[in-house]
Amino acid sequence: MSVAQPVATKAPATTDTLTIRDDRTGKTYVLPIQDGAIKSSDLSKIKGSPDDLLGMLTYDPGFMATAAVKSSITYIDGDRGILRYRGYPIEEVAQKCTFLEVAYLLLNGDLPTGQQLADWSDEVTHHTFIHENIKKFIDGFRHDAHPMGMLMSTVAALSTFYPEAKRIADETPRRKQIVRLIAKMPTIAAFSYRHVAGLPYAYPDNDLSYAGNFLNMMWKTTELKYRPDPILERALETLFILHADHEQNCSTSAVRVVGSSKADPYSAVAGGVGALYGPLHGGANEQVLRMLEDIGSVDRIPEHIERVKKGELRLMGFGHRVYKNYDPRAKIIKRIADQVFEVTGRNRLLDIALELEKVALEDEYFVSHRLYPNVDFYSGIIYQAMGFPVEMFTSLFAIGRTPGWLAQWEEGLLDPDQKIARPRQIYTGPAERHVEG
């Protein structure tokens, strides 16, 4: 049997190569490895026959092993439970930074100086109001509309108010929409809550912090000035920071995919809000609360765990595509919970959550599947203790995630490697056939 000579790419000088032998043809291919990856497009050189025009594809539902971007924003080591924003450990930024500092960091690559922070905060603060017609738009929703549906549609509607948002190649209008989105997300989220509650809208108070102003728009009633509890204000600020970015998750990928067609940022972020809404992603925090309510008492936990193990249910707030050891955000959240409960009183669901975590962490099923509490397991319990209705939980996540979405959107836009997202498929339908008659 003759051995085919290597074809296709020339072997680079280093040993960072992958040699593939195609047993269909006997040909061998040497593909360069860069940054631990091969280029999928190099696989197209591997052809089963001369009329195979596409060449070899990779089949990867859910992008389990596909890097679609190069990014310098967020680093995650899922095995070691590490999360860093632009190199800073999440534990440090959560403790020492404000949310707007973190937003600046994600968008610009470095933490702001004192002056840069003052200017940035001023800019965001001056865009917290929404056009009065947007208020009318929110008025049009049903009395029981879900806040995430309202948020998604209203963010999309913003693109009609700022037509210059289409000028994504110009830095000045591009940056202006980024500021507007970060500034207006809390306003839209709070207004959608007030709409459902039948309360008059509370306008932004620009003397307050980003989180403090959001609490004001949620809860202000007849008082002349709303003064947030400083512990709850800082807790919410920290929760926003913990959610600010998480590299190429489902919603961020949605933002990047929409952005890859050069759509305006409101349309791209509306796509991200839609992806976040789902119960396997940001919607999990709402589902955790519903699950804890359903379980109802500690003695019913074993029965629930058995149902999960039989595959009848998923343990919401457990498991993560990337973290297979622990989610560092969940650890920080657990500490925040203690501070919040000092102010609000202990959430009765906490005992169920703590016991559920204990049982699950010792159980063979969860250990062997490497399932640990994720960011959503405790966040809902805190939000509920702070008075947020369950339906609002995912909107709180969306507010926090907005700077990350926008940093990733802009990075994709400016990356010369990026192209319109357009995956391939493996067609499984009928071969050509014809309509009779």
| Active site members | 281, 320, 376
Q: For ligand ACO, which stretch binds (CB under 6 A), given 36-44, 149-157, 317-325, 344-352?
A: 317-325
> Rounded to an integer, what distance in angstroms lies between the CA atom of residue 152 and that of residue 190?
13
Task: Select from 85, 214, 266, 318 the one that contacts ligand ACO (CB under 6 A).
Answer: 318
**Cα–Cα distance measured from residue 331 to residue 334, given in angstroms and rounded to the nearest whole number:** 5
| Token pair listed for 421 | 């997202």
350-369: contacts with ligand ACO (CB under 6 A): 369
Output the CA–CA distances (angstroms, integers) from residue 387 to 48, 99, 147, 240, 294, in the order listed: 61, 21, 15, 17, 19
Gap between the Cα atoms of 310 and 413, Å rounded: 45
Which C-beta is closer to ligand ACO: that of 60 or that of 171? 60
Residue 281 makes contact with ligand ACO by CB under 6 A? yes
CB of 398 to ligand ACO, least distance (A): 11
Site for ligand ACO in 60-89 (CB under 6 A): 62
* Binding flag, residue 271, ligand ACO (CB under 6 A): no
Total binding residues toward ligand ACO, as defined by CB under 6 A: 19
Q: How many CB atoms lie within 10 A of CB 105?
A: 23
**Measured between alpha carbons, how far is 372 from 218 in angstroms, rounded to an integer?**
32
Q: How far is the CB of 345 from ligand ACO (least distance, A)?
A: 26
The nearest distance, CB 354 to ligand ACO, in angstroms, is 17
Q: Which of 305, 375, 392, 396 binds ligand ACO (CB under 6 A)?
A: 375
Residue 291 beta carbon to ligand ACO: minimum distance, rounded to whole angstroms: 10
Q: Which is nearer to ligand ACO, 176 or 314 (CB)?
A: 314
Which of 107, 371 has the CB closer to ligand ACO? Answer: 371
Considering only 16-24, 119-127, 174-182, 312-320, which stretch makes contact with ligand ACO by CB under 6 A? 312-320
Choices 113-121, 280-288, 380-388, 419-427; region in contact with ligand ACO by CB under 6 A: 280-288
Please, which residue, 29 or 393, has the CB nearer to ligand ACO? Answer: 393
Return the C-alpha torsion angle 361, 367, 370, 373, nearest 10. -10
Among residues 374, 394, 395, 402, which is the contact residue for ligand ACO, using CB under 6 A? 374
Helix 250-260 / helix 265-277 crossing angle, nearest 10 deg: 150
CA neighbor of 181 nearest in space, from 414, 393, 398: 398
Q: Read out DSSP for 350-368?
A: HHHHHHHHHHHHHSHHHHH
Query: Which of 6, 221, 240 has the alpha carbon at shortest distance from 102?
Result: 240
Q: How far is CA 81 from CA 45, 250, 324, 327, 401, in A?
A: 38, 19, 8, 6, 20
Q: Determine, following the binding rule CB under 6 A, whether residue 411 of this chain makes contact with ligand ACO.
A: no
**Do 329 and 83 form a contact (C-beta atoms < 8 A)?**
yes
Q: For residues 269 and 155, is the Cβ–Cβ distance under 8 A?
A: yes
- CB closer to ligand ACO out of 62 and 200: 62
The residue type at 346: R
Sheet of strand 27-32, all strands in order from the earlier edge strand to the far edge: 6-7, 27-32, 17-22
Number of residues that this document lists for the chain: 437
How many C-beta atoms lie closer than 10 Å to residue 311's C-beta? 7
Question: How would you classify the pairing of strands 74-77 and 6-7?
Answer: unpaired
Q: Tell me the per-residue interface mask from 230 to 269 with ligand ACO, x by CB under 6 A, - otherwise.
A: ----------------------------------------
Closer residue to ligand ACO, CB minimum distance, 268 or 356: 356
Q: Does residue 320 bind ligand ACO (CB under 6 A)?
A: yes
Residue from the set 168, 308, 332, 336 that interacts with ligand ACO by CB under 6 A: 308
**Of the listed pieces 11-19, 105-113, 116-124, 319-327, which binds ligand ACO according to CB under 6 A?**
319-327
**Residue 388 · residue 399 · CB < 8 Å:** no
CB of 220 to ligand ACO, least distance (A): 30
Q: What is d(CA 394, CA 286) in angstroms, rounded to the nearest whole number?
A: 7
Q: Could you tell me the smallest distance in angstroms from the CB atom of residue 42 to ligand ACO?
A: 27
Which residue's CB is nearer to ligand ACO, number 135 or number 321?
321
Binding to ligand ACO by residue 289, rule CB under 6 A? Answer: no
Q: Per rule CB under 6 A, is residue 376 in the interface with ligand ACO? A: yes
Tokens found for residue 285:
């925090």
Pick 99 or 318: Cβ nearer ligand ACO: 318
Q: Which residues bind ligand ACO (CB under 6 A)?
A: 62, 280-282, 284, 308, 314-321, 369, 371, 374-376
